[in-house]
Amino acid sequence: MHDLRVVLVRPHFPGNLGAVARVMHNFGHSKLTLVDPVADRNDPEARRLATHGEFVLDEARIVTDLPAALAECVLVAATSAKVEGIVRQTGAGSLRDLAPVLAAATGPVAIIFGPEPSGLTTAETNLCHHLINIPASPEYPSLNLAQAVAIVLYELSLTSLHPIMGEQPVTFDEQERMFERLRAALEAVHFLYGPKADSLMHAVRHLIGRARPTPGEVKILHGLARQLEWVAAHGPSSP
């Protein structure tokens, strides 16, 4: 996985930044993205715990929000100890089951880790194709940030699948534009309405996202949305 991005959302503790940089270097990865970080990558504790991974911190990309971190990615997986509720359960899976899917991607892949105090929000996990849950004791399932990164990178390193050949999947930005258009169309025909609209759209996102649509398939979905909007505005055509 030469184009794997480790994305840390609002990391709070400098020591975790350094430990993540070290373990990334251990497994041969260097593309680190920090989303609205609280911790300073130049803090002495971050530098001390990086141990030969200081260059990962130096080259880390810093962005203000999660969509900016994912714009070029074709496959995105969030990590969370929280999988309760219909929204999170829709895309949740074990790391061992998802590792071959992630390793087989033919474009940039992002693995997202949430802030230490609270983890990722449901809105943030909703942006992702998959939700990785690392089994742990139900009494205390929340792992240390750097330890979670180490486990994920270790499992991915065990996967020796060759990339699947074929048409390149669309980027996150292209896919988000399609989902926005599709949501508007589904709302226009009242497929999405009421208090369950967000949950149902989440299920639609994961149904399509897991298929990793190609540019041609995204064009088809844009066409479907366009036709739904026309029918909503004009009514069904006569036979």
- pLDDT, greater one: 27 or 237: 27
Checking DSSP bridges between strand 130-133 and strand 92-94, what pairing results, if any? parallel
pLDDT in tens, 147-165: 999 999 998 988 743 444 4
The region, left, alpha or beta by phi > 0 then psi within -120 to 50, assigned to residue 199 is alpha
pLDDT tens digits along 54-90: 999 999 999 999 999 999 999 999 988 776 655 555 5
Residues 171, 109 contacting (CB under 8 angstroms): no
CB 175 within 8 A of CB 209: yes
| Number of residues that this document lists for the chain | 239
pTM of the model: 0.69
* Domains of the chain, start order: 4-158 (3.40.1280.10), 172-234 (1.10.8)
Query: What pLDDT sits at residue 90?
Result: 57
Please report the pLDDT score of residue 14 as a whole number: 96
What is the pLDDT at residue 24?
96
CA-CA distance, 225 to 238, in Å (whole number)?
20
- Predicted local confidence at residue 165, as pLDDT: 46
